[in-house]
Structure 1
Amino acid sequence: MTKMTFENYFDKHFELRYFEMNKLGLATPTIMLALLEETAADHCYSINHSLFDLVKKNIGWVLVSGAMQINRYPNYKEKITIRTWLSSYSSIKGYRENIIFDEQQNIIGRAKGLWVFFDIEKRKPMPIFNDIKEKWPINSEESINKNIKKKIEAIDFATHIKQFRVNRFDTDMNKHVNNIRYLQWVIESIPEDIVDNYYLHEIDGRFISEAQFGDTVLSLTNIDIENGSFVHTIKIEGSDKVCATAKTLWRKN
C-alpha cells in the first residue's frame, strides 16, 4: 500500500508505560491488542454510544475475526497514534481498520477486525443502530489486504499443548472470554526458544464459540509450512468444542 487517503477516521494517542513492556523494554503483543481495543472503545465513546451505555441495554460489540501485523513494537515511553475507521458495514457487522504510527508518522503496525453488533442476553447478532452508522461514515480504504473471513482449520493433535482454566477475570462485560486472553493462551503454547528469539509479526484469528467461566481450555500449537509460522486451536478440554483458531508468523529479533 503506497498511498492512503484518510477521511472519516479517529485518532487515539498513547504513551507506552512500564507495565506494558517485556524484558527487552518493548510493548507486548497483548498490550498492542489492548491498545487497539481501547481505541475502538474510545471511538464508541466519541459518538455517545460508549460500551458501558450499550451494555446497560444488553448490547455489545463482539470480534469474530481479525488480523494484526506489527513491524516494530514501541519502546518504553514512546508515543504512538492509533488511527481507526470503518471500511464497510452490513446490517449487523462492520469492518474496523487500524494503522499504528510512531512519532515520526512511520507506520509500525496494522490491524483489521470484523465486529458483530450483539444482543448479550439472547446471545445473537442484532441490527446496528442507524445513529452509529451515521456518526461513523465509511472510509473504504483497507489497512491490510487480507481476507479475515477465510476459514482457519482447527487442529486435533499438537506438538505443543498448554492447559488453562477460565477464571472470572478472563471474561468481559459481554460475559465471554476476551479475545486478548485467547492471544495470551496462544503465545503461552509457543515453543520457548521462539518466544525468546523471535517477535510476533502477524496473527490471524477466528473466534468460533464461547468459553465459559469454569471451563478448562487447551491451547494447541503446531509448526506450519513456513519457517517461523504456526497454527493454533483453542478448544474446550473433554469435548469437540473449538473456541478459536489462528495462525501466527514470528520473525527473528
Structure 2
Amino acid sequence: MESKVIKNYFDKQFELRYFEMDKFGIASPSTILILLEETAADHCYSINHSLYQLEKQNIGWVLISGFLQMERYPHYKEKIIIRTWLSEYSAIKGFRENIIYDEQGNIIGRAKALWVFFDIERRRPVQILDDIKEKWSFCNRESINYNISKKIESIDNSDFKLKFKVNRYDTDMNKHVNNLRYLQWVTESIPDEIVDNYYLHSIDGRFIAEAHYGQTVASLTKKNKESNTFMHSVKVEGTDKVCATAKTIWKKKETRTHNKM
C-alpha cells in the first residue's frame, strides 16, 4: 500500500484482498468503510499526529455524520486509490472529503464525513490543535454536494428488526462502538432478497449517542416510499435511547464474473 501527499490532498493506494470480498468476489460496504478510516488514520500519521499519539493526550476524532455513495465496488486484487482532504474547519469540527478511483482513474465512489475533535476521558469536544490545521491545510472543493448535517429522523415502527449484543471487539480506542459496527448492524437487518440482488448504492448516517459494552442494541429497518430505499435506527434495547439513524439506497446488481484464486 502506497501513500503520498499532493498539495492539500492525501492519496493512499490499496489492493483488495480475499478476506475483504463478499461471496461474489466483490468488496463489501464494510470493506470500503474500513479503507476510508485507514486512509484518514494514515493522513493523521503523515503529519505526526497519529491516533495513538493523540490517545496519549486523551484526545481523538469522533464521527458525527457521514455519507458514502458507490457506483460500483472493487473486485478481488483490484487496486484503488482513495484521495482525502479537509474542506472546512470550525474550532472543534472538520469536514473530510473522499474520492475513490479505480486503476484507470475512473471515480467509483465518493464519501464525506463530519468529525469532531474529542476529549476521550471527559467525553466532550475540544479545540482542534493549531498544528493539525496548519499541516493538513484545507481545500474548499467538495467530493460530493450533499448535506450531511441535516437530521435523519428516528423510526419507531419497523418492517425488519435484529438484535445484537455489544461485545468488546465492537468498541474502539475512543471507547465508542466502532462506526463500522453500525453499518454492519444496519445492513444485517436488510432482507436477503435485497442483499442478494442489489448493492448498497448509498448510505447517509448520523451518530447520536453511545452504546456501551454489554448492552443489547436493536437494528430497526423500515421500507421507504421510494423503491429500494430504507430508513434505519439503532437503539439500545429496552430504552428510548437512539444511537444512530440512517438512510440506505440500493441498486440492482449487474451480472459480472469474479476473479478466482
- Whether contact under 8 Å (1:233, 1:246) holds in the other structure is yes
> How far, CA to CA, are the matches of 1:181 and 1:70 in structure 2?
19
The aligned counterpart of 1:248 is 248
- Describe the superposition over 1:95-136 as per-residue Cα deviations: whole angstroms up to 9, x where unpaired: 000000000000000000000000000000000000000001
- Whether contact under 8 Å (1:87, 1:138) holds in the other structure is yes
- Describe the superposition over 1:36-95 as per-residue Cα deviations: whole angstroms up to 9, x where unpaired: 000000000000000000011111100000000010100100000000000000000000
2:199 alignment partner, SS class: strand
- Describe the superposition over 1:141-173 as per-residue Cα deviations: whole angstroms up to 9, x where unpaired: 001111000000000110100000000000000
> How far, CA to CA, are the matches of 2:78 and 2:226 in structure 1?
32
The aligned counterpart of 1:116 is 116
1:195 alignment partner, SS class: helix
Corresponding letter in the other structure for 1:152: I
Corresponding letter in the other structure for 1:57: Q
The aligned counterpart of 2:137 is 137
The aligned counterpart of 1:71 is 71
TM-score, reference length from structure 1: 0.97
Q: Kindly report which structure 2 residues correspond to 1:155-234, keeping only aligned pairs within 5 A, or say none.
A: 155-234=155-234
> How far, CA to CA, are the matches of 1:53 and 1:228 in structure 2?
43
Corresponding letter in the other structure for 2:11: D
> How far, CA to CA, are the matches of 1:144 and 1:205 in structure 2?
15
User: Is 1:92–2:87 an aligned residue pair?
Assistant: no
Q: Offset at 1:184?
A: 0.1
TM-score, reference length from structure 2: 0.94
Corresponding letter in the other structure for 1:42: D
Q: Offset at 1:7?
A: 4.5
- Which residues of structure 2 form unaligned runs of 5+? 1-5, 254-261
1:238 alignment partner, SS class: coil
> How far, CA to CA, are the matches of 1:7 and 1:142 in structure 2?
16
2:133 alignment partner, SS class: helix
The aligned counterpart of 1:62 is 62
- Which residues of structure 1 form unaligned runs of 5+? 1-5
The aligned counterpart of 1:11 is 11
Q: How many residues align?
A: 248
> How far, CA to CA, are the matches of 2:159 and 2:26 in structure 1?
29
Corresponding letter in the other structure for 2:231: V
Corresponding letter in the other structure for 2:123: R
1:153 alignment partner, SS class: coil
2:213 alignment partner, SS class: coil
> How far, CA to CA, are the matches of 1:124 and 1:209 in structure 2?
12
Identity within the alignment, %: 69
- Whether contact under 8 Å (1:7, 1:139) holds in the other structure is no
The aligned counterpart of 2:50 is 50
CA RMSD, Structure 1 to Structure 2 (Å): 0.7
Corresponding letter in the other structure for 1:141: R
